Structure 1
Amino acid sequence: MSILTDIFTWWNGSTIGTRVAISRAGGEFVGEDEFGNRYYRLPNDPEKNAAFGTERRWVVYAGYAEASAIPAGWHGWMHHTVNAAPANENYAARGWEKPHRENRTGTVDAYRPRGSTLSTRERPAATGDYQAWSPGD
Structure 2
Amino acid sequence: MKAFLLQFFTWWNGQTLNTRWHTWRHGKEVGRDEFGNIYYEGGVNSDGLTRRWVIYNGQSEASAIPPGWHGWMHYRVNTPPSAETYKPREWQKPHQPNLTGSPAAYRPKGSLLGNRHRPQVTGDYDAWTPGS
TM-score normalised over the length of structure 1: 0.86
Counterparts of 1:40-59 in structure 2, within 5 Å, are 40-42=40-42, 48-49=43-44, 51-59=46-54
SS at match of 1:56: strand
Alignment match, 2:111: 116
Counterparts of 1:10-49 in structure 2, within 5 Å, are 10-25=11-26, 27-42=27-42, 48-49=43-44
Query: What is the deviation of 1:117?
Result: 1.1
Runs of 4+ in structure 1 over 3 Å off: 125-129
Query: What is the deviation of 1:3?
Result: 2.4
Query: What is the deviation of 1:8?
Result: 2.4
Alignment match, 2:6: 5
Distance in 1 separating the partners of 2:122 and 2:65: 42
Structure 1, unpaired ranges of 5+ = 43-47
Alignment match, 1:102: 97
Deviates more, 1:2-11 or 1:30-39: 2-11
Identify if the C-alpha distance between structure 1 residues 50 and 78 changes in structure 2 by more than 3 Å, giving closer, same or farther. Answer: closer
Query: What is the deviation of 1:120?
Result: 1.4
Aligned residues between the structures: 131
What is the letter of the counterpart of residue 79 of structure 1?
A: H
Structure 2, unpaired ranges of 5+ = none
Identify if the C-alpha distance between structure 1 residues 91 and 113 changes in structure 2 by more than 3 Å, giving closer, same or farther. Answer: same
Query: What is the deviation of 1:128?
Result: 5.0
Alignment match, 1:87: 82
- Percent of aligned pairs with the same amino acid: 55
Distance in 1 separating the partners of 2:45 and 2:72: 20
Distance in 1 separating the partners of 2:122 and 2:50: 54
TM-score normalised over the length of structure 2: 0.89
Query: What is the deviation of 1:29?
Result: 0.3
SS at match of 2:7: helix
Distance in 1 separating the partners of 2:10 and 2:97: 20
Distance in 1 separating the partners of 2:49 and 2:73: 12
Please tell me the root mean square deviation across aligned C-alpha atoms, in Å: 1.7
SS at match of 2:97: coil
Alignment match, 1:74: 69
Contact 2:45 2:51 in 1 (8 A): no
Distance in 1 separating the partners of 2:89 and 2:123: 45
